[in-house]
Amino acid sequence: MTEPFVSAEAAAAHLAISPRRLLDLARAGDLPAYPLALGRKRHEWRFKLSELEQCLADRRASSAMPLDRRAKSSRRSVNADAGR
């Protein structure tokens, strides 16, 4: 049986992050996602929960820092550099 696609809201709830954060990561290519083109902009994204889980497991194995904290840390360092 083929795994169904889920909405950004369902995927975000599964990962316990906000839908906005999930979409930012998807747009950046940091998470596996399937954009549905509706006109000039992609307004809808679909996800497979097993692919998201595998991606996060791979990231955990290669880095001790979770995805959300790594993104926040890089923003802090950029902001700290701007103040110099």
pTM of the model: 0.67
**Residue 74 is encoded by which pair of tokens?**
């890089």
Answer yes or no: are the C-beta atoms of 46 and 36 closer than 8 Å: yes
Q: Residue 10's closest CA among 47, 40, 37, 43?
A: 47
Who has greater pLDDT, 76 or 23? 23
Answer yes or no: are the C-beta atoms of 68 and 57 closer than 8 Å: no
In the chain, where are the structural domains located? 6-82
The percent of residues in the chain predicted with pLDDT above 90, rounded, is 51
Split at pLDDT 50, 70, 90, the class of 41 is low
Beta bridge partners of 47: 6
